[in-house]
A and B are shown apart, each in its own frame.
Chain A
Amino acid sequence: MAATRLFLRASPVKCSLTGLTGGVHSSLGSTLLKLSPACTAKPQAQRRHAAHFTFHPEPAPSQYESRATNPPLTFTGTEIEEQVFIADTHCMNVSAGPTQKMNLFQSVTSALDNTLAGDPTAVIFGEDVAFGGVFRCTVGLRDKYGKDRVFNTPLCEQGIVGFGIGAAAAGATAIAEIQFADYIYPAFDQIVNEAAKYRYRSGNMFDCGKLTIRAPWGCVGHGSIYHSQCPEAFFTHCPGIKIVVPRGPVQAKGLLLSCIADQNPCIFFEPKILYRAAVEQVPTEAYQIPLSQAEVLQEGSDLTLVAWGTQVHVLKEVAAMAQEKLGVSCELIDLRTILPWDTETVCKSVVKTGRLLISHEAPVTGGFAAEISSTVQEECFLNLEAPISRVCGYDTPFPHIFEPFYIPDKWKCFEAVKRMINY
């Protein structure tokens, strides 16, 4: 049967059989199909294999630098002096040590491995984490550390996070996994009302700083409505938690370890499309990348590009295109920590270049780009050469069949760059 199909595919014969592949893939078939004018995709394009970006691995870092972190946010109310956040500990220059080729999920496993090894109170729980997780982020950990430290929960996100808050408040380093970021909403109340406000409302008597929530995040090519969402904007409206999104394996491990060490509850979103696609040489020892520090990936003088997660790779290509086709030198910034974000780096960059483009997959209205845009125009108004541009997803649910049109791909971003340069 498969051989027949192969034969049909190869031969430009009108198939009167119910040869499904023949009808789609033969060139004769494409003329027989009455494609509507609106359906511009060629039959070959129905196979949506190509991702909308290419991952370029970065060389393994030899050491990590850090500088003094941003001052902690404090509530400037009249009587309450308790800090909303506890400041990051100052990370020393860390030498990287031996490295190993890992993809994103393996780097997450490595980070969790380091944590469980170094911290006897650390526990990992979530749906299906015991056998390794649906994205294999916890493979081998249960066998290595025991079933009382790596265990499954039933299907109850609200329960998982609530349980995690309690465990963290009692002193365990709790790492909760939400199977997809799209399913985090039942736990929204727990995160926003319980976790974020615990330290504040108890006058620093209790806190759940040892809680870290991990969730796969972002578009994946075929995820549709409930397996592709980027909910970071919902949580940025909530002081008291930290939100972090890595762009690759080296970043993921360092940032995850920082989140776990951080004394505030953190949400760590892992771009699921990069789980296998992103491969880098990652140090096997534990190391931390400081939170609330954006990274300038590429220096430039004409335009600042800001993104996080998968979109950083899209903008890398945009920067290359801009240089090649327009002669525009772009400065690319990976925000890394979404909340609290590194205003200093971004504003310094915009002061230098005068133009800012922010891009994310989440819908444009109310997305985090709006917050960045607002702050930058406040701080750098007189330095702006063009209005700040946001290239984001449409204000629709994440579509099934329209995904290639929905995502802010490099062409949309390039158009926006062109417009800003010619403003």
Chain B
Amino acid sequence: MLAIISNVLRGTASRNGARVVVSARTYADFTPQASFDIKKCDVHKLEEGPPLQAVLTREEGLQYYRTMQTMRRMELKSDQLYKQKIIRGFCHLYDGQEACAVGIEAGINLTDHLITAYRAHGYTLTRGGTVREIMAELTGRRGGIAKGKGGSMHMYTKHFYGGNGIVGAQVPLGAGVALACKYLGKNELCVCLYGDGAANQGQIFETYNMASLWKLPCIFICENNKYGMGTSVERAAASTDYFKRGDFIPGLRVDGMDVLCVREATKFAAEHCRSGKGPILMELQTYRYHGHSMSDPGISYRTREEIQEVRSKSDPISMLKDRMLSNNMASVEELKEIDVEVRKEIEDAAQFATTDPEPPLDDLLRGTNPWTKLKSVS
């Protein structure tokens, strides 16, 4: 009986052209969408903030879940590969902060621009990179997204400007991209991310000034994960209200562990920029489970209990899962299936990343001046 219903549903779905995720056992009574209360955002120099309610459809929910789960598993796999010394160099993992990347992407278009610092794996994925390319880049193979020459910190896709190693240096670049957006008149904007440590760099303030003066369509986002490497925000910043640091730039403080909160705030901010009001600043309060990089155990400046607490109370993937299950928007089996698929995808990608050959030696020259006869011995 159920099989007949599911077949009928599948038939209608494909005829209507709607892309409905149909699991093996389709229940006819999944809630197609639900409205959720989200945390109010603190505002700075704004009359009102983003709405207090967010509508989530089933498709969106499953898509966010899949993307966040992919991100999470990809980071954990990278951790494994690093410990096996298959990935070397520096590796800054993004797990715990998935809601930021997914929420931001949900609030903007793929044609908008984004630039971030070195904790870039998540953004590479949301901006169009595939897990295979990302992992091959981590292992330094030719199948990597930067042909194996960039590594963890230097991943790029169309409209994603990386992946930058020097802390804070990417923010003026982002303002430049925003200027190009304004100049070319395609109604695009630039999302410019940096961390709580970088918020104390001088160039950030120079950028605030330029962006505000010229009303650039730039969303500055400070991903405040409470620790700049090993230094907690209280010990590094005279003012930990990062959303107010833009002074003359309006600001929002957003719960970065809730993907819906991030999405609504990003939509609000995007609207602000696209209407020509100039830049806006968002502080996403988030948390990273791993240490700063793979050489940092992450427990010398914070307690295991703290990490465990955040994991149990505010994990972004769990929050989304609970929301969807309690509103009957998905079934446990369905989500488990997604987990299995994601796991397989990551395993395939890891296999590819390990077996793909390294870039050829000719690539040493590519990207630099091709007319210089490269020599190292005079």
- Interface, chain A (partner B; CB < 8 A): 18, 20-21, 23-24, 33-36, 38-39, 41, 46-48, 127-128, 131, 134, 152, 154-156, 158-159, 182-183, 185-186, 222-227, 364, 369, 373, 388-397, 399-402, 405-406, 408, 412, 415-416
Contacts and interface: CB of A to CB of B under 8 A. Distances in A.
A412 B201 contact: no
A401 B142 CA distance: 11
Given A18-B347, A364-B375, A393-B376, 14 more contacts: A20-B354, A38-B362, A46-B86, A156-B200, A182-B165, A227-B90, A364-B378, A392-B378, A394-B375, A395-B368, A395-B375, A401-B358, A402-B359, A412-B376
B198 A155 contact: yes
Contacts of A222: 88-90
B149 interface: yes
Given A159-B202, A394-B374, A396-B368, A128 B231 contact: yes
B128 to A, nearest CB: 22
B3 interface: no
Contacts of A396: 364-365, 367-368, 374
Contact of A416 (B84, B154, B359, B377): B377
27 contacts: A20-B86, A20-B350, A20-B354, A38-B360, A39-B360, A46-B86, A152-B231, A154-B197, A154-B236, A154-B237, A155-B228, A156-B201, A222-B88, A223-B90, A226-B166, A364-B375, A364-B377, A369-B378, A388-B378, A389-B377, A391-B376, A399-B364, A401-B359, A402-B149, A405-B364, A406-B376, A412-B376
B149 A401 contact: yes
B150 interface: yes
Interface of B: 81, 84-86, 88-90, 140, 148-151, 153-154, 165-168, 197-198, 200-203, 228-231, 235-237, 300-301, 347-348, 350-351, 354-355, 357-365, 367-369, 372, 374-378
Contact of B90 (A158, A224, A364, A390): A224
Contact of B357 (A36, A395, A400, A416): A36
A159 B238 CA distance: 14
Pick the 6 closest A-B CB pairs, nearest first: A38-B360, A226-B165, A154-B200, A401-B140, A390-B378, A400-B151
Contacts of A35: 357
Nearest to A407: B376
A185 B86 CA distance: 32
Contacts of A225: 154, 165
B116 to A, nearest CB: 15
A346 to B, nearest CB: 17
B140 A400 contact: yes
A40 B106 CA distance: 44
A158 B316 CA distance: 37
Contacts of A393: 376
A233 to B, nearest CB: 15
Contacts of A46: 86, 358
Contacts of A152: 231, 235-236
B374 A415 contact: no
A397 B151 CA distance: 13
Given A222-B88, A224-B90, A396-B364, A155 B200 contact: yes
A395 B378 contact: no
Indicate the member of B202, B358, B375 with the most A CB atoms within 10 Å. B358
A373 B377 CA distance: 13
A128 B203 CA distance: 21
A183 B201 CA distance: 12
B359 A20 contact: no
Contact of A405 (B149, B361, B377): B361
B149 A399 contact: yes
Nearest to A159: B202
Contacts of A389: 377-378
